Amino acid sequence: MAEDDAQGALTARSPQETHDPIIRFSNVTKEFTNRDSKEPFRALDGIDLSIDEGDIYGIIGYSGAGKSTLVRMINALERPTSGSVTVLGTEVTGLSESKLRPLRQKIGMVFQQFNLFSTRTVAQNIAYPLQLDHWRKDYQDRRVSKLLEFVGLSEHADKYPAQLSGGQKQRVGIARALATSPRILLADEATSALDPETTSEVLQLLRRANAELGVTIVLITHQMNVVRQIANRVAVMSNGHIVESGDVYDVFAAPQQPITRRFIGTAISGLPDAAHIDSLRARWPGRIITVLVRQREVPAGDGRPAVGASGQNISELIARHHLASGLIYGGMDTVDGAAIGALTYEFDDTQDRFGQFLDELTRTNDIIDFGTAADPRTPQAWKE
């Protein structure tokens, strides 16, 4: 046990010298045998994934995509059928249970249903991993008290889980997961049972664990909003494959796959859907044009071409061409510190300068032209 641990202090870890990923999946496949048909079923197929120390890595996908199976391989609760999984420099694929124990101590887990002991107090729940690790009682007490402080539950130390709200229970879950100073925290749908406000509080706490304690976080979720709020990297999973991955801003700003666009649609406001467009057309007879807003450009990489910024010069263009216009729909969100969203305008397209304006708008921005109520258009990019 390190000296600082003995004092119970929570200390930040400086990143390791090496630039090897802290977690690496190489061509990992997992087959389950269906009990009835005896046919093998591929839950994971050719997974390549690298997670760097200090990342908050979001893994998003619908139910059944393979997310839990993937994450359970990090602490070897699940073994690959083929391929290799390396964690903290150790190839875990063939390790025996006894050799796995020290590795598992460096990996904390947080669950959707909290998994707290109902007959133990908050403090006793948090102390549990320290008991398993045979810490001296006075060291345990000091450590638990620091952890309670970190998660803001010092006054609730002697309560039982049933006396806590969902958000408080999850904070106990996080404190327990951090008890043995793990290097990696696996969060499996950790906020899925919580309301949006409590979700934000719990995400805030996970972000502090990452920033202040240097814990790498792997976060499984089906909520793109969770990824938007906290992750710096994201992988989108579908049918046992990673279909798209990269920096969160890049994936949000320039999604390549239809499934990624669907997820992003749930987390980014301002993009009108078919029903919105119908109701806008009913109210506004003019030309309806949506301008995508992307504050930063996206460099090429992760199988994605370079994509420029968009929506940065609309007001200036409208003013310069002396156009009459109305802003009729829109919204903006912040992803990794930069704005992403969409603004929808109505223009009278019979105005003199409209053609010239539209040329320049199209050259310097990503737009979706929905036509007019009398002459509607359904652009390809929007149909997907």
Residue 383 corresponds to which tokens in the numbers above? 């149909």
Q: What H or E segment, with its residue span, contains residue 172?
A: helix 166-178
Determine if 63 is a binding residue for ligand ADP (CB under 6 A).
Answer: yes
Euclidean distance between CA atoms 23 and 219, whole angstroms: 13
CB of 243 to ligand ADP, least distance (A): 13
CB of 181 to ligand ADP, least distance (A): 27
Do residues 251 and 90 make contact, with C-beta atoms less than 8 angstroms apart? no
Between residues 64 and 308, which has the closer beta carbon with respect to ligand ADP? 64
CB of 252 to ligand ADP, least distance (A): 21
Between residues 238 and 372, which has the closer beta carbon with respect to ligand ADP? 238
Determine if 171 is a binding residue for ligand ADP (CB under 6 A).
Answer: no
**What number of chain residues touch ligand ADP (CB under 6 A)?**
10
- State whether the Cα torsion 297-301-304-305 is positive or negative: positive
CB of 109 to ligand ADP, least distance (A): 14
- The span of 62-70, 93-101, 254-262, 316-324 binding ligand ADP (CB under 6 A) equals 62-70
Q: Indicate which single residue of 67, 156, 287, 296 sits in contact with ligand ADP (rule: CB under 6 A).
A: 67
- The span of 61-69, 96-104, 285-293, 298-306 binding ligand ADP (CB under 6 A) equals 61-69
CB of 32 to ligand ADP, least distance (A): 3
Euclidean distance between CA atoms 291 and 270, whole angstroms: 10
Between residues 32 and 128, which has the closer beta carbon with respect to ligand ADP? 32
Between residues 86 and 192, which has the closer beta carbon with respect to ligand ADP? 192
Euclidean distance between CA atoms 30 and 80, whole angstroms: 5
- State whether the Cα torsion 312-316-322-328 is positive or negative: positive
Between residues 64 and 376, which has the closer beta carbon with respect to ligand ADP? 64
Amino acid (1-letter code) at residue 273: D
CB of 68 to ligand ADP, least distance (A): 3
The pattern of x and - marking residues 14 through 53 that bind ligand ADP according to CB under 6 A reads ------------------x----------x----------
- The span of 64-72, 108-116, 158-166, 341-349 binding ligand ADP (CB under 6 A) equals 64-72
Do residues 58 and 226 make contact, with C-beta atoms less than 8 angstroms apart? yes
Interior/surface letters 146-183, b for 16+ CB within 10 angstroms, e for the rest: bbbebbebeebeeebbeebebbbbbbbbbbbbbbbbbb
CB of 46 to ligand ADP, least distance (A): 15
Between residues 239 and 364, which has the closer beta carbon with respect to ligand ADP? 239
Euclidean distance between CA atoms 249 and 308, whole angstroms: 13
Task: Provide CB contacts within 8 A for 11, sequence distance 6+.
Answer: 4, 213
- State whether the Cα torsion 338-340-343-349 is positive or negative: positive
Amino acid (1-letter code) at residue 328: I
Q: Indicate which single residue of 64, 152, 265, 303 sits in contact with ligand ADP (rule: CB under 6 A).
A: 64
Binding stretches for ligand ADP (CB under 6 A): 32, 43, 61, 63-69
